[in-house]
A and B are shown apart, each in its own frame.
Chain A
Amino acid sequence: MAMLPEAGPAAGGNRAIVTVIGVDRVGIIAAVATMLAEAQVNILDISQSIMQEFFVMIMMVDLARSPSGFDELKAALNERGNAMGLKIDIQREDVFKLMHRV
């Protein structure tokens, strides 16, 4: 996957990364996207790939307009993941930015 240049710091601090890991099946993206839409969370980008036999979907989302609290959203995603036999989580973007970029 191509690595595009990063945007400047003006990009804002309310972004998070949603990760979905599990066995591939029909309807994963639809289910997660619907949940995020209901919570007024804007999806900025989606990537998916198969790594070590696991389906890995990664979404960058913007929480700026969402009335839901972070914890609330996280709990809802975790719960939905459990129901679908997937691991769904959300983490603030800074984690990835700091760990992998000097």
Chain B
Amino acid sequence: MSISSYSPQEIVETIRMVQMERLDIRTITMGISLRDCVSENHARLADRIYDKVCRMGSGLTAAGAAIAREYGIPVTNTRVSVTPVAIIAEGVGDCAGRDAMLGVARALDRAAREIGVNFIGGYSALVHKGATPGDLALIDSIPEALASTERVCGSVNIGSTKSGINMDAVAMMGRVVKRAAELTAAADGLGAAKLVVFCNAVEDNPFMAGAFHGVGEADGVLNVGVSGPGVVLRAVQAAPAADFGELASIIKRTAFKITRMGELVGRAASARLGVPFGIVDLSLAPTPAIGDSVARILESMGLSRVGAHGSTAALALLNDAVKKGGAMASSHVGGLSGAFIPVSEDIGMIEAAGMGALSFDKLEALTAVCSVGLDMIAIPGDTPASTIAAIIADEAAIGMINRKTTAVRLIPAPGKKVGDLIEFGGLLGHAPVMAVNRESSAAFIGRGGRIPAPIQALNN
């Protein structure tokens, strides 16, 4: 083959995407099953988990760095997800369940540090229909686990289209989210930023904080999350007069190229590490960096600020076009695959929220058409736990009825009021504290029980 099979424009386009438009591989996440680590002895369990994560993940960070050098595409993060810990640590018999869970959290944190990954996900429980004693022990321990470790991330699935919504778990999570923030008050409630409450959680999501390694997965798997809001932004900006059909087509073509990079990197990492390739997650994941914003894409479609009327339609078009282009580009697409709209991690969202253009309610509407949910939103620290639970219930209802994943990652910032700023730094960014509805949902949440599975579940 000669060089002539690529035009100089194509080669320059690739280089421009990486160097000027911040195209990167957001994460290579290795899923590791902990099912063979189970023990009745808490110390042995923790040791086995530490050893397995270190053994399987030892080459991950180096492989990510080598791929970045050779292909010229930055690999921003390498991460690990593990089997939901509630399942793995449930059988410990020589100490209280809560202590067994916390022992695992510490082992995971040490292992993450040892192999050099910045987050390890899977401090999780799946309680969409009911909770076992192990699930309850894990949920109870989440605030302490997140406050006492650096890299561990947790998630709890409280509903699904097939099972309905476990409202007892929802009520519990309202309290857990609040407590997670309180225990990390000195860091503006950072603990809550490492905790995701899901409806319809997926088993192969590579993105934190909600990644865990599903029980239907192999012993080890590599999942790749691509990024590239900047690349899509540039493409949209270059077509100010395009109608919506053309616009969708432009985004599709761009998503195709981004996804191909994800597939290439996933397969290269798989070959190097001897761990099977799982999926590419097509999500457009913003960062607080200039030019890496999903909000700016919506604005470049013709909205003066994200949050303006029309934002939901714009996001629907973007999300769908990204999926269509990405699905064509990879043989295995999975995870969450859509546009993320975290507030604190997106400079356009931060600005719009700060100036009042983007309200909490509009964010909720946007989550009906985006890939995930209410993400990285700071709310007043004095928000009642029942209100947080009710927000979770609303979001789960959107997911349950629309057969999609929804998630809630709220930070009830301790001591902060509407308009104050919280600062996490790095990829987690900063955010203005947003107002939530002050009316009470306490009696509603107090009912308990389950919201039945919707008619959409009856498709057999």
Contact = CB atoms under 8 A, between A and B. Distances in A.
Given A2-B4, A4-B2, A95-B14, A51 B70 contact: no
Interface of A: 1-7, 11, 15, 17, 19, 21, 44-47, 49, 51, 56, 58-60, 70-71, 74, 89-92, 94-96, 98-100, 102
A51 B257 contact: no
Interface residues of B, number: 28
Contacts of B10: 96, 99-100
A94 B13 CA distance: 15
Contact of A4 (B5, B66, B69, B328): B5
B455 to A, nearest CB: 40
A51 B9 contact: yes
B69 A99 contact: no
Contacts of B70: 70-71, 74, 91-92
B254 to A, nearest CB: 11
A70 B69 contact: yes
Most chain B CB inside 10 Å of its own CB: which residue of A4, A58, A60, A95: A95
A6 B70 CA distance: 22
Contacts of B11: 17, 19, 56, 58, 96
Contact of A19 (B2, B15, B260): B15
A5 B72 contact: no
B388 to A, nearest CB: 43
Interface string B1-30: 111111111111111000000000000000
Given A4-B2, A17-B6, A56-B11, 6 more contacts: A1-B4, A19-B11, A44-B2, A51-B12, A74-B70, A98-B261
Contacts of A19: 11-12, 15
A1 B169 CA distance: 63
A12 to B, nearest CB: 9
Interface in B324-341: 328
A102 B264 CA distance: 13
A95 B71 contact: yes
Contacts of B13: 100
A59 B261 CA distance: 21
B75 interface: no
B264 A56 contact: no
Contact of B260 (A5, A47, A51, A99): A99
Given A47-B8, A51-B8, A58-B8, A99 B261 contact: yes
